[in-house]
Structures are given as C-alpha cells and as structure tokens.
Amino acid sequence: MFGHLIAFKNFRPTEGLWGSEWVGFKHFYFFFLNDYWITVTWNTLYLNFLNIFFGTIFAIITAVFLNEIRFVLFKKISQSFIFLPFFLSWVVVAYMVFALLSTRDGLINNVLTQLGTDGVSWYASPQYWPAIITTIQVWKGVGAGAIIYLAAMSGISGEYYESARIDGANRLKQIWFITLPLLRPTVIMLTLLAVGGIFYGDFGLIYSIVGENALLFPTTDVIDTYVYRGLRSNFSSSAAIVLWQSCMGLICICTVNWMTRKLDKDSSLW
C-alpha cells in the first residue's frame, strides 16, 4: 500500500519514498488532460468485455464437451491439447499470429489468394483487431477456464442425472436443465473476479503482437501500453495511473456484486 504514495509524490530513487516531494494530483493530469485517455480506456474496457463474454461461453462449452467424453484416454489427451496454449508465451503466440496474418506470406492471405480474392493488409487494418485479439485470448485461455468449470461439474451429484434419466431426459436436456444451472455460482464468481481487472489491459498480448504499430492503435491501444510508451522512466505518473485503475476496478466489482446480491444473494462474493 505504501507504493501508492508514489502517485502523489515527485518520486526520485535517490531521495527515497519519504524524501521525495509531495505534489498532490499533479501526476494524474498527464492522463486526464489528454483526450486520448478516452480512447485507450474504451479499448481496454471493450477488449476485456469481449474476452470475458466469449471466454466464458467457450470455456463452458469446452468443459461440457470434455465432461461428456466417456473414453478416459481420449478425454485426457483432449484436456492436454486444449490446455497446452495456456503455457505458451506471448512471444511464441506473436510469431504464430504473424505466420497467419503476414501480408505477403501469411497463411490466411495465401488461402484468400487461392480463392480468387485479394489479400488483406491485416497489420494496417485496425477494424479487424478487436476480433483478432479476442480470438487469441479465448484460444489461449479457454483451457484454464474449462478446467475450473470441469472441476465444478465433478461436484454435481450423480443423483440429479439419475433422476433426470428416469424421467426420460436425454443428455442435451440434462446439460440444459441440470449442468448449466448448477454452474451458475461458478460463472458468477469468475465473472466478478474478471470484472475487478476490467480496467487492466493484457499488456503482454498487446505489446507482443501489436508492438509499436501505430496504425493499429485506434482499436488496440490500451491503458497499460499507452502508459508504458509515455512513462517508461516516470515512476510517479505510472503509479498514479495504476492507482486509478485499481480504484475503478474496485468500484466495478462492488457494483456488479451489489447487482448480483439483488438477483441472487447466494451467488455474490459478500
């Protein structure tokens, strides 16, 4: 917590935390007096919303698919392949994306050319990148999310399914009326935790794949990359923006938790 004091001081490493001069809210001005903060904040929120929404949906679908596999060996192999991307570094992922999207030699453009259409200059077309980034995030994180939902499914009593089978429910109805409703507390908990970080961009992803490509900044530049470029050696201004992100995340998670308590008290965090 003492680190947050740096946001209100003109911090110099040689003078230390207590010896540095107090400057109040001066370091917040860098961010808010420039209209560009609206763009990077919107990009951060929008990309995180897409990741939370589609990541949750595909993680649940993947978990249900794995839960329905009865052949144990195939199930373990499937889990391993689905979980593998989670361990790849963003640098490796960036090279994979470039191999797919390169304007001249990319796999996707080669396929488009073979189909008789013009290739797309992906790295100069910012309108495509929210979908591209979301796809990458979902692909890399779906395995981790699926493991959590799969663990939650393992805790569902088999008596529910046995009763449903006696009543004539097929597998699809069992999933729809038993599995998914009983996953709701887990979905709500993970969503609440994700909302707490909605003001934090995925710096590793954005900086590794987009880098310093200014052509893509209108739709990919997030708070973290913007601050990194502008404040690489300014400890106080960087701390000020991080403090603002933390406060906004706290407000968001408290608001969503309050709404959850109104709808389902048992599913809220507190």
Q: How many CA atoms lie within 13 A of 121 on its CB side?
A: 5
**pLDDT for the residue 207:** 94
Comparison of pLDDT for 139 and 242, the residue scoring more: 139
Sorted by where each begins, the domain ranges of the chain are 25-267
**pLDDT for the residue 12:** 75
**pLDDT for the residue 261:** 84
**pLDDT for the residue 215:** 95
112-142 confidence digits (pLDDT tens): 999 988 889 999 999 999 999 999 999 999 9
pLDDT band at 177 (very low <50, low <70, confident <90, very high): very high
- The Cα 195–Cα 259 span in angstroms is 13
What's the whole-model pTM score? 0.89
pLDDT band at 52 (very low <50, low <70, confident <90, very high): very high
DSSP H or E run through 22: strand 21-22
- Read off the pLDDT of each residue in 189-214 and give the average, rounded to a whole number: 92
- Read off the pLDDT of each residue in 84-106 and give the average, rounded to a whole number: 94
- Read off the pLDDT of each residue in 193-206 and give the average, rounded to a whole number: 92
Find out whether 167 and 224 touch, Cβ atoms under 8 Å: no
pLDDT band at 107 (very low <50, low <70, confident <90, very high): very high
Helices (H), the chain: 16-19, 26-32, 36-68, 72-83, 90-101, 107-114, 129-154, 158-166, 171-174, 180-195, 203-209, 217-220, 223-230, 235-263
User: Which candidate, 39, 249, 44, places its Cα nearest to that of 133?
Assistant: 44
Rounded mean pLDDT of the chain?
Answer: 89
From residue 105, how far is each of 112, 117, 122, 136 by CA, in Å? 12, 15, 12, 20
Which class is domain 25-267?
Answer: mainly alpha
Is pLDDT of 43 > 80? yes
Task: Match 């903060």 to its residue by tokens.
Answer: 37
**pLDDT for the residue 187:** 93
Comparison of pLDDT for 2 and 57, the residue scoring more: 57
Is pLDDT of 9 > 80? no
State residue 10 phi and psi, 5-degree precision. -90, 80
pLDDT band at 256 (very low <50, low <70, confident <90, very high): confident
Chain centroid offset of residue 22 CA: 35
Residues 6+ apart with CB under 8 A from 22: 8, 9, 10
For 9, the 3-state DSSP assignment is strand
- The Cα 228–Cα 41 span in angstroms is 14
pLDDT band at 1 (very low <50, low <70, confident <90, very high): low
**pLDDT for the residue 232:** 66
Is pLDDT of 170 > 80? yes
**pLDDT for the residue 118:** 87
Find out whether 139 and 87 touch, Cβ atoms under 8 Å: no
